[in-house]
Amino acid sequence: MFSDTAREEEIAAFMGDTLAAEPEDFRKRFIAMLASLSIEEWKFIEEKAKELFAKEQEKRQD
């Protein structure tokens, strides 16, 4: 398991690499799209992620 500090360092390194990437790099375009989301859109994504996780948990219990 990652410690909070190690996880934050991993995220910071990823973001640094992504920001330094060429404009056509998928990671950079994807992060730019995420940055443009509204609070409501983030809430929607969170709910869908929870639904997906719950479905995966149900599959594992079957």
Tell me if the pTM is above 0.85.
no
Burial of 28 from C-beta contacts in 10 A (0-12 / 13-18 / 19+): middle
* pLDDT tens digits along 3-61: 889 999 999 999 999 999 999 999 999 999 999 999 999 999 999 999 999 999 998 99
Query: Which range marks the domain in which residue 17 is found?
Result: 4-61
pLDDT for residue 3 = 84
pLDDT for residue 62 = 75
Q: How confident is the model at residue 1 (pLDDT cuts 50, 70, 90)?
A: low
User: How many domains does the chain divide into?
Assistant: 1
